[in-house]
């Protein structure tokens, strides 16, 4: 019934407890999950999850915030994207959050390596015809600008994709939708402080929406502060249901259908 479009089941907080998590998913009617790659080094573990379990799929990519890891070429990404059950490129994008504290006081200009990496992922996605899983944090203007510069606003071999764990403004949501992208909401929308984000939930068309956990992070209320896992994604759907005044089953059906539309190759 439900689909978690973004989780990190290879991370140690979850991988050590996978049988119990899969049982909890079944009990919560979470039928599928997309396992997200954040470094080339971890790709083997992520891909193994998708080839071992018939309701998991995987991606290939390097998270924008990861430094000191293997920098992929377009060819590196294409070779892995061609493997069975790899359905997307990412997560990729830009992360400028906490420049002073998290990035050693560097300026945005010093993060050209992030922008170069993002372009590499976009070009790989366009070459293989698989969508992008985009992470953008405190960097929406540059994220959108690079997508446009790389041709994602025009005709031709568009990659498309999803802005995952969306926390940006209504204006950014409109721009992402105008580019043809989907928008995915996480447990953040259940937080008391997320009133403006729930306005975005009410705005985004249901046929352009996905749900996710981003587990092990961002557990929804009533589990906020605990380790997240895919069995909690129904709480995201429930919040969308309440915000929009529609049955939770409608949210589950629409977001699962959108998952199949975006990530070609997954099965019902």
Q: What is the pLDDT of residues 13-45, one digit of tens each?
A: 999 999 999 999 999 999 999 999 999 999 999
Q: Check residue 106 and give its pLDDT.
A: 74
To which H or E segment does residue 35 belong? strand 30-35
Please, which residues have CB within 8 angstroms of residue 242's CB and are 6 or more apart in sequence?
Answer: none
User: 267 lies in a domain?
Assistant: no
In whole angstroms, what is the distance from residue 61 CA to residue 268 CA?
25
User: 153 lies in a domain?
Assistant: yes
* Three-class secondary structure of residue 202 per DSSP: helix
User: 191 lies in a domain?
Assistant: yes
Q: Check residue 97 and give its pLDDT.
A: 87
Q: Check residue 159 and give its pLDDT.
A: 95
User: 227 lies in a domain?
Assistant: yes
Pairing of β 2-7 and β 30-35: parallel
Q: Check residue 104 and give its pLDDT.
A: 63
> What's the first-to-final CA gap in the chain, in angstroms?
10
Number of domains in the chain: 1
Instruction: List the CATH number of the domain containing 86.
Output: 3.20.20.140
For the segment 108-165, what is each residue's pLDDT rounded down to a tens digit? 888 999 999 999 999 999 999 999 999 999 999 999 999 999 999 988 778 999 999 9
Kindly report whether the global pTM for this prediction surpasses the value 0.85.
Answer: yes
Q: pLDDT-derived band of residue 99, with 50, 70 and 90 as boundaries?
A: low
Residue 54: burial class (beta carbons within 10 Å; 0-12, 13-18, 19+): exposed
226 pLDDT higher than 70: yes
In whole angstroms, what is the distance from residue 30 CA to residue 55 CA?
10
Structure tokens at 235: 């709480």
Q: Check residue 219 and give its pLDDT.
A: 98
Q: Check residue 268 and give its pLDDT.
A: 72
User: 218 lies in a domain?
Assistant: yes
55 pLDDT higher than 90: yes
Q: Check residue 155 and give its pLDDT.
A: 80
User: 193 lies in a domain?
Assistant: yes
User: 114 lies in a domain?
Assistant: yes
**By residue range, what is the domain housing residue 139?**
2-262
In whole angstroms, what is the distance from residue 135 CA to residue 182 CA?
13
DSSP string, 86-143: EEEEEEEEEE-TTHHHHTTT--GGGGHHHHHHHHHHHHHHHHHT--EEEEEES-HHHH
User: 92 lies in a domain?
Assistant: yes
In the chain, the percentage of residues whose pLDDT exceeds 70 is 97
30: which strand partners?
2
Neighbours of 46 (CB within 10 A): 25
């Amino acid at each position: 019934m439900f689909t978690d479009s973004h989780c990190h089941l290879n991370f140690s907080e979850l991988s050590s407890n996978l049988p119990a998590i899969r049982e909890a998913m079944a009990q919560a009617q979470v039928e599928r999950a997309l396992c997200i790659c954040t470094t080339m080094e971890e790709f083997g573990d992520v891909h193994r999850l998708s080839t071992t379990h018939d309701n998991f799929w995987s991606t290939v990519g390097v998270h924008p915030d990861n430094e000191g890891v293997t920098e992929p070429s377009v060819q590196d990404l294409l070779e892995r994207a061609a493997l069975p059950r790899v359905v997307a490129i990412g997560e990729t994008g830009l992360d400028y959050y906490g420049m002073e504290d998290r990035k050693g006081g560097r300026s945005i200009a010093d993060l050209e390596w992030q922008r170069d990496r993002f372009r590499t992922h976009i070009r790989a996605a366009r070459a293989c015809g698989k969508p992008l899983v985009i992470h953008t944090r405190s960097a929406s203007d540059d994220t959108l600008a690079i997508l446009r510069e790389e041709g994602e606003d025009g005709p031709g071999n568009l990659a498309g994709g999803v802005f995952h764990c969306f926390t940006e403004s209504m204006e950014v949501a409109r721009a992402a939708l105008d580019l043809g992208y989907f928008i995915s909401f996480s447990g953040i929308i259940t937080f008391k402080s997320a009133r403006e984000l729930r306005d975005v939930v009410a705005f985004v068309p249901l046929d352009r929406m996905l749900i996710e956990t981003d587990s092990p992070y961002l557990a929804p209320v009533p589990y906020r502060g605990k380790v997240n896992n895919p069995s909690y994604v129904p709480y995201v759907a429930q919040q969308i249901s309440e915000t929009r005044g529609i049955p939770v089953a409608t949210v589950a059906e629409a977001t699962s259908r959108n998952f199949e539309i975006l990530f070609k190759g997954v099965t019902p």
